[in-house]
């Protein structure tokens, strides 16, 4: 009778010892990144630009995308965006065009579509490409253009990718702001559709 508890205890001890001796996979921490936001909004006198939710989905979710070759991508499991690129881009452009609406301002709507939001592995470049469509109250398109920025990265890391993406969005937002001003000078106010 006393042998059974001793055998059970020996078995339990051997089990615990065996589990602690076996090597475990090393833990790899997951890092989260966000893009920097502009310090000041664009100055668009007489214009009020509302930024609509950007379109763009897979593979641009919370995981960072590295393009290994023209036909192969790598999705990084351990370097991730704090939120989806579409959410970050919406916040970024909301800050850029956040001027308060004044009476008599021309109301415009900016729709963005994410075409590329990735790091090119071989070239060490962050590439951001957006299609911007600007329309007015009458749903008349005033501008439809693709904007692309390629920013070199010192090294292939999540931190450098995030910094370069912020710089790319800064370049693109300045081009879009200039094009908005030009488009509104060239095209008069449209009649609202019934």
Is residue 49 a part of any domain in this protein?
A: yes
pLDDT band (50, 70, 90) for residue 54? confident
Residue 22 lies in a domain: no
| Greater model confidence, 147 or 103 | 147
Q: Is residue 140 part of a domain?
A: yes
pLDDT by residue (tens digit) across 65-82?
999 999 999 988 899 999
Residue 191 lies in a domain: no
Q: Where are the beta strands (DSSP E) in 85-124?
A: 106-120
For residue 16, being part of any structural domain is answered with no
How far CA 51 is from CA of 91, 97, 110, in Å, comes to 9, 8, 5
Res 15 pLDDT > 90: no
Beta-carbon contacts of residue 184 (< 8 Å; ≥ 6 apart): 47, 106, 108, 142
Residues 6+ apart with CB under 8 A from 134: 49, 108, 109, 110, 111, 141, 142, 143, 144, 179, 180, 183
Q: Which residue has the higher pLDDT, 141 or 18?
A: 141
Angstrom distance (rounded) from CA 164 to CA 177: 20
CATH number reported for the structural domain that contains residue 173 in this entry: 3.40.50.10610
Does 2 fall in a domain?
A: no
Number of Cβ within a 10 Å radius of residue 14? 10
Asked if the bond preceding 59 is cis, omega within 30° of 0, the reply is: yes
Q: Which helix (H) or strand (E) holds 129?
A: strand 125-136
Q: End-to-end alpha-carbon separation of the chain, Å?
A: 94
Number of structural domains (the chain) is 1
Mean pLDDT of the chain: 84
Other C-beta atoms closer than 10 Å to the C-beta of 126 total: 24
* Separation CA 118–CA 127 (nearest Å): 5
Q: Per the domain annotation, does 55 fall within a domain?
A: yes
- Residue 11 lies inside a defined structural domain of this protein: no
Domain range holding 114? 27-32+45-186
Give rounded-to-5 percent helix, strand, coil for the chain.
Answer: 30, 35, 35
């Amino acid at each position: 009778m006393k042998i059974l508890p001793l055998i059970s205890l020996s078995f339990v001890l051997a089990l615990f010892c065996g589990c602690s001796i076996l090597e475990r996979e090393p833990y790899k921490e997951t890092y989260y990144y966000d893009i920097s936001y502009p310090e000041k909004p664009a100055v668009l006198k007489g214009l009020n630009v509302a930024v609509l939710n950007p379109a763009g989905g897979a593979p641009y979710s919370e995981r960072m995308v590295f393009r290994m070759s023209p036909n192969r991508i790598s999705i990084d499991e351990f370097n991730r965006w704090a939120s989806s690129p579409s959410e970050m881009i919406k916040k970024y452009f909301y800050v850029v065009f956040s001027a308060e609406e004044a009476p008599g301002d021309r109301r415009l709507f900016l729709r963005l579509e994410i075409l590329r939001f990735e790091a090119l592995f071989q070239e060490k470049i962050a590439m951001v490409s957006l299609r911007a469509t600007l329309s007015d109250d009458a749903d008349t398109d005033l501008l439809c253009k693709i904007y692309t920025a390629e920013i070199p990265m010192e090294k292939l890391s999540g931190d450098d990718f995030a910094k370069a993406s912020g710089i790319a969005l800064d370049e693109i937002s300045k081009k879009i702001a200039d094009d908005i001003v030009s488009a509104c000078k060239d095209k008069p106010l449209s009649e609202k559709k019934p």
